[in-house]
């Protein structure tokens, strides 16, 4: 793996630590310590990333390659110090890796180990020393850890500690101490992701430390949908899972600058792989492009890949509305070395559409298709015509049967009340029909010629195996 900055190297170490914690059956802690020595010239920062997971192996560091940027202000000597032990080990092992060493067999230096004296525990600490400002490094790591907290990984606590070191009267400061990321053991990964993304939205994309009560005074401001797509495990594929959570927030007019993020027409897709933030895969990006967003009443103006982050821009969002999307791809077991991108695209597409359908099912009038919205425009006139026929009729039996079907008392009723009741019934039927999957709807002539296109049904079929491909691959 190639890394081009100390920040990227730290993100890699944090992701590896998360993996070790997830493999453990016990409650684990991930700690990141930044300790500066400002009196040194240039300033020196010690970066330590430790976890209480299952312990690491030296092979994790064998493929690392550091490509330094001469224009960068940060400087690193290329040396990684590793301390690790597994629960079954009787010793704590110490290693030093020199990534500047050209000969790969000379990179690893095994240092004297420390006896555990019969104590059973496991964990790993990886540390490096880098020259440069602690502020930029702190901002990058804080943002990365805050995204990890969105997953609310069961049984994993995360902390970030900053020690200003040689300054007189300096103290250690806990910037992130997240015990709330340890939900009940019974909580599923998708429920944790839903809860984490809700917190992210309520804090305006983590731009605030607490919930913005001026925007989110009531829970109805958030409309949440989720979907999970899985592949079938086999001897060659260990079962891939992609989870999608979509939140639509409808808010009042913003009152503070921090609230304007919630009204942006752009959506940054938060993408996670194996419980860590990462760049979105091209196959998942293609899946987002292939979705017929108009069938959900949305018009996608553009989709861009900005340094690994997918940015969706919408054309027709209501005023003061915003869409947030999170995708998480992981494997039920240790994945094989290679995965076909077709699987990523199929599962991503299916998970996102399940989340959109979940939103429509839970929230009346949300994400109606373009076709349904056009038909709804005729509901008032149709209701007025039907109510006129009922109210003006001289057949009392006919009127009584109509009133009974509408749930209205059989007596003299104003035509406006009948009209409103009929309009609500028509709208409810249109919305109910629009929530049905397209393949389950009866084939009827389209009212509008431009609605005759449907996405191929086979794209939403569950992935049937490693060798299954769609026609989009041709």
Delineate the domains of the chain, giving CATH numbers in brackets.
2-163 (3.30.565.10), 189-362 (3.30.230), 370-435 (no CATH)
The pLDDT assigned to 446 comes to: 45
At 391, list the tokens.
Answer: 């109210």
- What pLDDT score was predicted for residue 269? 94
Identify the three-state secondary structure at position 412.
Answer: coil
The per-residue pLDDT for 322 is 87
Whole-number Cα distances in Å, 285 to 269, 337, 356, 427: 10, 21, 17, 35
The token pair at 267 is 């959506």
Alpha-carbon distance 143 to 32, whole Å? 13
Higher pLDDT, 119 or 462: 119
Residue 445 has pLDDT above 80, yes or no: no
Strands 266-273 and 321-331: parallel
Backbone conformation region of residue 43, classed left if phi is above 0, alpha if psi is from -120 to 50, else beta: beta
> Smallest Cα–Cα separation from 145: which of 17, 42, 334?
17
Residue 443 banded pLDDT, cuts 50, 70, 90:
very low
Secondary structure (3-state) at 314: strand
Task: Pull the structure tokens for residue 141.
Answer: 């790591």
Q: Which residues contact 374 (CB under 8 A, 6 or more apart)?
A: 447, 448, 451
Task: Judge contact between 220 and 249, C-beta under 8 A.
Answer: no
- Residue 171, pLDDT score: 58
Mean pLDDT of 199-213: 79
Residue 174 has pLDDT above 70, yes or no: no
Q: Which of 272-286, 371-385, 444-458 has the lowest mean pLDDT?
A: 444-458
Q: Band the pLDDT of 120: cuts 50, 70, 90.
A: very high
Answer yes or no: is pLDDT of 92 > 60.
Answer: yes
pLDDT above 90: residue 14: yes
- The mean-pLDDT minimum among 73-87, 324-338, 373-387, 446-460 falls in 446-460
* Closest to 87 (Cα-Cα) out of 119, 49, 51: 119
Cα 346 → chain centroid: 17
What average pLDDT does this structure show over 37-48?
82
Is pLDDT of 361 > 90? no
Residue whose entry in the numeric block shows the structure tokens 């493999």: 23
Q: Which pLDDT score, from 0 to 100, does residue 438 have? A: 58
Return all residues near 61 (Cβ < 8 A) that are at least 6 apart.
80, 82, 95, 97, 108
Mean pLDDT for the stretch of residues 324-328: 95
Give CA–CA dist 107/139, Å, rounded.
31
Confidence of residue 75 (pLDDT cuts 50, 70, 90): confident
CA angle 92, 94, 99 (to 5 degrees): 150
Model pLDDT, residue 450: 45
Range picked from 156-170, 278-292, 325-339 for highest mean pLDDT = 278-292
- Higher-confidence residue: 205 or 93? 93
- 370 three-class SS: helix
pLDDT band at 262 (very low <50, low <70, confident <90, very high): low
Mean pLDDT of 120-127: 95
The reported pLDDT for the residue numbered 460 is 53
Q: What's the pTM value of the predicted model, to 2 decimals?
A: 0.81
Instruction: Please answer whether residues 9 and 128 qualify as being in contact, where contact means their C-beta atoms are separated by less than 8 angstroms.
Output: yes
- Answer for the pair 404, 353: CB distance below 8 angstroms, yes or no: no
For tokens 């897709």, the residue is: 269
Dihedral pair phi/psi, residue 36, rounded to 5°: -100, 155
Distance (Å, rounded) from C-alpha 238 to C-alpha 47? 35
- Using alpha carbons, select from 208, 298, 187 the residue that is nearest to residue 246: 298
What is the reported pLDDT for 447?
A: 43
Instruction: Check whether the bond before 96 is cis (ω within 30° of 0).
Output: no
Alpha-carbon span 168 to 134, nearest angstrom: 17
Residue 111 has pLDDT above 70, yes or no: yes
Q: What 3-state DSSP class applies to 226?
A: strand
Contacts of 371 (CB under 8 A, 6+ apart): 434, 446, 447, 448, 451
Confidence at residue 466, expressed as pLDDT on a 0 to 100 scale: 38
**What average pLDDT is seen over the chain?**
80
Query: Mean pLDDT across the stretch 201-221?
Result: 74
- The pLDDT value given to residue 318: 80
Listed range (154-168, 173-187, 269-283, 353-367) with the worst mean pLDDT: 173-187
Average pLDDT of span 182-196: 78
For the chain, percent of residues with pLDDT exceeding 70: 77
pLDDT at residue 167, as a whole number: 57
**Is the Cβ–Cβ distance between 17 and 52 less than 8 Å?**
no
In Å, what is the CA distance from 273 to each residue of 113, 196, 243, 325, 462? 34, 16, 10, 15, 21
pLDDT higher for 5 or 441?
5
pLDDT at residue number 179: 52
């Amino acid at each position: 793996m190639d890394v081009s900055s100390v920040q990227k190297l730290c993100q890699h170490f944090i992701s590896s630590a998360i993996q070790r914690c997830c493999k453990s059956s016990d409650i684990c802690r991930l700690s990141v310590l930044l300790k500066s020595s400002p009196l040194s010239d240039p300033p020196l920062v010690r970066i330590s990333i430790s976890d209480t997971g299952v312990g690491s192996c030296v092979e994790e560091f064998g493929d690392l390659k550091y490509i330094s940027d001469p224009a960068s202000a940060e400087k690193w000597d290329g040396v990684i110090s590793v301390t690790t032990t597994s629960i079954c080990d009787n010793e704590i092992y110490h290693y030093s890796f020199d990534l500047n060493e050209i000969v790969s067999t000379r990179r690893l230096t095994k240092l004297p180990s420390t006896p555990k004296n019969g104590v059973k525990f496991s964990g790993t600490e990886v540390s490096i020393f880098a020259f440069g400002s602690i502020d930029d490094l702190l901002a990058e790591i804080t943002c990365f850890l805050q995204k990890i907290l969105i997953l609310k990984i069961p049984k994993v606590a995360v902390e970030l500690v900053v020690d200003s070191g040689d300054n007189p009267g300096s103290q250690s400061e806990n910037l992130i101490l997240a015990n709330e990321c340890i939900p009940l053991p019974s909580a599923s990964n998708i429920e944790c992701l839903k809860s984490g993304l809700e917190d992210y939205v309520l804090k305006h994309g983590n731009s605030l430390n607490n919930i913005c009560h001026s925007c989110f005074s009531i829970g109805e401001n958030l409309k949440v949908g989720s979907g999970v797509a899985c592949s079938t495990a086999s001897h060659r594929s260990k079962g891939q899972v992609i989870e999608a959570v979509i939140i639509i927030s409808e808010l009042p007019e913003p009152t503070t600058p921090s609230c304007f993020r919630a009204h942006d027409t752009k959506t940054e897709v938060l993408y996670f792989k194996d419980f860590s933030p990462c760049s979105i895969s091209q196959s998942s990006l293609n899946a987002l492009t292939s979705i017929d967003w108009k069938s959900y009443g949305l018009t996608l103006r553009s989709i861009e890949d900005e340094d690994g982050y997918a940015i969706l821009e919408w054309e027709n969002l209501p005023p003061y509305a915003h869409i947030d999307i999170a995708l998480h791809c992981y494997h039920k077991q240790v994945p094989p070395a290679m995965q076909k991108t077709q699987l990523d695209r199929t599962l991503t597409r299916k998970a996102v559409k399940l989340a959109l359908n979940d939103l429509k099912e839970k929230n009346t009038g949300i994400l109606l298709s373009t076709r349904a919205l056009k038909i709804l425009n005729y509901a008032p006139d149709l209701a007025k015509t039907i109510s006129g026929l009922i109210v003006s009729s001289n057949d009392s039996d006919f009127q009584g049967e109509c009133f009974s079907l509408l749930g209205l008392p059989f007596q003299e009723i104003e035509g406006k009340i009948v009209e409103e009741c009929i309009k609500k019934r028509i709208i409810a039927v249109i919305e109910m029909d629009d929530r049905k999957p397209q393949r389950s709807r009866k084939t009827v002539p389209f009212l509008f010629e431009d609605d005759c296109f449907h996405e191929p049904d086979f794209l939403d079929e569950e992935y049937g195996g490693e060798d299954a491909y769609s026609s989009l691959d041709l």
